[in-house]
Amino acid sequence: MKAMILAAGVGSRLDPLTRNVPKPMVPVVNKPVMEHIVEALARNGIKDIMVNLHYLGDQIQDYFGNGKKWGVKIQYSREDQLWGDAGSVKRCQQFFDEDTFLVVGGDDLADMDFKRLVRFHEDKKALATISLSLVDDPSEYGIALLNDRGRITRFLEKPKGEVIFSNSANTGVYVFHRDVLDLIPKGTPYGFGHNLFPMLLEQRARFFGYLTSSYWKDVGSLKQYQEAHYDALNGRCDFNIPVPETRKYV
């Protein structure tokens, strides 16, 4: 199975950390965010990875190379401009030569069972499946409403005020059937949350949500970045911390 890591964004909300470092290379417990993602994919047997690059992309490619160090194969799609998350995936259409593929945001820490997510997607014969997580403040995320079969009946990108109808937040982890690529226009910026997902609802496509209790954190702001460190050090997520733990007794 193949996956794509979205790694082209500028990460302005993480300023000043991202002035000289691309967002996927910002360290969490002394390891780039994207390295945690690559390790999670490898643990789940997903070892053929495409990464899109734009802002300071050379740093990402220089660090990860062909992926051999992590037991994966990494290819890169360089972008002359930002094409949106869906538009970036569309540009890599030839890479996705299997029926099912995974997409993960390059600034997401997701300690989840990707295999289980894919099984859910395939059992539902879905065209698209979003992994969802319950959050206290859904205003910064896309939110979804599900029926009792897990089918998405309503979706809204970054709601504000009285329009908030759910606290099930889009984690930015998606499973797609490759037929979805035919619905994304070529050569134009296009987004999943603003464009594709509303269209899937309009067309009554097989569009599902998978509610997970696994750890997930969008490391998209300085506050969330700080929280991710606390979570890792407190053992809330199963990340490979690259230094030994030392206890000092007084």
The CATH number of 2-233, from 1.20.1050.10, 3.30.565.10, 3.90.550.10, 3.40.50.300, is 3.90.550.10
- Active site (catalytic) residues: 158
How far, in Å, are 70, 95, 225 from residue 214 at the CA level?
23, 29, 18
How much is the pTM? Answer: 0.92
Q: Rounded to whole angstroms, how far apart are CA atoms 180 and 129? A: 11
Boundaries of every domain in the chain: 2-233
pLDDT, tens digit, 9 for 90 and up, residues 112-139:
899 999 999 999 999 999 999 998 888 8
pLDDT, tens digit, 9 for 90 and up, residues 14-69:
888 888 999 999 998 889 999 999 999 999 999 999 999 999 999 999 999 999 99
**Interacting residues of 125 by C-beta distance below 8 A, sequence separation 6+:** 206
